[in-house]
Amino acid sequence: MQSVIDRWIQCSELDEEMKRQLLTYSDAEREDAFYRHLTFGTAGMRGLIGPGINRINRITVRRVTEGLARVLSKQPGAMERGVAIAFDSRRFSREFAQEAAVHLAHWGIRVHLFPSLRPTPVLSFAVRHLHAAAGIMITASHNPAEYNGYKVYGEDGAQMPPDKVESILRELDQVEDELAIQTGSWEEGVASGRIRYVDPSVDHAYIDQVLSLSLRGPHPTHASLRVVFTPLHGTGKNPVEQVLRDLGFSRLETVARQADPDPAFSTVSSPNPEDPQAFALALEQAKISGADLIIGTDPDADRLGLWARGSDGRFHAFNGNQIGALLLDYVLQQRREQGNLPTDGVVFKSIVTSESGRAIAQQYGVKTVDTLTGFKYIAEGIEEQESSGKGTFLFGYEESYGYLLGSFVRDKDAVQAAMMCCEMTAHHLEHGRTLDQALAELDRQYGAYRETLFSFTFQGKAGTNRMQALMDRFRHTPPLTVGGLAVERIRDFTNGLDGFPPAKLIRFELEGNSWVAIRPSGTEPKIKFYFGVRSITKEEAEVQLDAMRQSIRDIVEAD
């Protein structure tokens, strides 16, 4: 490892800030920055910004782009079809996008580069719209400000699944010295015509497609819905505002202090719509303006969070499972009433997402298909469905605040979700229901499904080893009961199971339709513990959840 560090210290390409940071690393920081190459997880390559092979910087961006370029160079027609590249509002996102563009152009590969920041779903759409061979999105999604990342998309507009990523990793294994990779210059790439900016017509086409998903169009009641929106300093402002205003949501307010891109995310501790603290400013504004609904998108606008004024006049947060259940019920109900609910409809959800969606879909005669965690698996299911001609995609979602309604995008899309959440809320208010009342009605129809999760974070090389040891502990000496409920079945996906490919996931299925799932995060150094319960009342469900959560926490903390 020391030889690699020495090479980096002597590298002429490192700017003064990176050299200073490298020389001031503590021993632990130095080890973490160099003990491995930054890896691909659930959502591409993501890591702390800084010098080192386990950090994201111009060198590591160039290295992974080298692997992608080698793969594309072996595919007939791929170099001419090119790669679409977009970036978000994070530190160095533009620079990393340009680094990738330059290196692809050096290989003779055409580049379709967005001239300014764009949401992840727009990148996914652009890959398909432009018939590109691949796509790159520079983003760390909802991670804290010190992170950035690199997502790779296939020609279908979906993040590459493990088997396709493996082809890139095999090429990277042949790169002996990441600092010795030859590349070109921005000027050369532009002069050659290989680097071209994406035309605004792509944005227009995307907006038109989103608007086509509306089940009500510019309905008269939309003008009465009072909406507060926060893009959390990211990419969501322009597309969300445009779509909502085009549908007649004229009483839309955007949180001014969070409207503009800010790589420091200066008004929040983390730009994550799953975090209630991220909505503090939006809540203040909503209370003053008398809003009915608050929506927020993360920096790359693929996740959406929602708060709504309840029947008690106060604002209530809805988690990803609840938002998904409400959206699914609304979409299926409207389609049935309008006579366009297909008989072969399919809903996709991840295996750690609430079972409430399955119950709702079944009521409408719609099939539910489980996937592994990661929206690329939902996209893979959509692609298989369309290729075979069997099944009609209706909705896809994950508990982690990701939703998809139109398959012209093959990743979660907060712009689509923002539009449909506003439309859904207006519909319920028109019929005298707040969203908490609509959710309570689902509880009465299908049972009270409640879910929660917690996670433990493990930093550095030692943390990685600790995570592995903990996963081994649950795999080899699993608990017999969780929260007083007997473990009836253990599903270990390590080597693949029930038709699923291999995954770092263990699921304990308990008596009474409760369950626990354990998986290391694919984007952060943590293990996530998911819990799901179905009870008669929400109060009973919460009590059981607390018992299950404490049971697992006791095991982890005692280990």
> 530 to each of 133, 288, 401, 544, how far by Cα in Å?
36, 36, 14, 13
Q: pLDDT truncated to tens, each residue of the chain (559 aa)?
A: 788 888 888 888 788 888 889 989 998 899 999 999 998 765 689 999 999 999 999 999 999 999 999 999 999 999 999 999 999 999 999 999 999 999 999 999 999 999 999 999 999 999 999 999 999 999 999 999 999 999 999 999 999 988 889 999 999 999 989 999 999 999 999 999 999 999 999 999 999 999 999 999 999 999 999 999 999 999 999 999 999 999 999 999 999 999 999 999 999 999 999 999 999 999 999 999 999 999 999 999 999 999 999 999 999 999 999 999 999 999 999 999 999 999 999 999 999 999 999 999 999 999 999 999 989 999 999 999 999 999 999 999 999 999 999 999 999 999 999 999 999 999 999 999 999 999 999 999 999 999 999 888 877 777 778 888 889 999 999 999 999 999 999 999 999 998 898 889 999 999 988 999 999 876 667 899 999 999 999 999 999 999 999 999 998 887 6
Residue 193 token pair: 């015509």
Task: Evaluate the CA torsion angle 317, 482, 496, 358 in order and state its sign.
Answer: negative
Structure tokens at 464: 């990685």
- Which ranges in 371-453 belong to alpha helices (H)? 375-388, 414-430, 435-446
Phi, psi of 69 (to 5 degrees): -60, -40
Distances (CA, A) of 500 to 129, 373, 381, 504: 30, 11, 12, 11
Pairing state of beta strands 195-197 and 111-113?
parallel
Q: Which amino acid is at 228?
A: V
Please name the amino acid found at residue 536: I
Structure tokens that stand for 203 in this block? 């944005």
Cα–Cα distance for residue pair 350/325, rounded to 1 Å: 13
CB atoms within 10 A of CB 219: 17
Active site positions, annotated = 141
**pTM for this one?**
0.95
Question: Which single residue is written with the structure tokens 């992840």?
Answer: 120
Which of 117, 87, 407, 85 is CA-nearest to residue 239? Answer: 117
Contact 368, 361 (CB under 8 A): yes
Q: Give the pLDDT of residue 467.
A: 84
> Could you give the domains of the chain?
2-199 (3.40.120.10), 206-446 (3.40.120.10), 448-558 (3.30.310.50)
Q: Which residue's entry shows tokens 């939006």?
A: 282
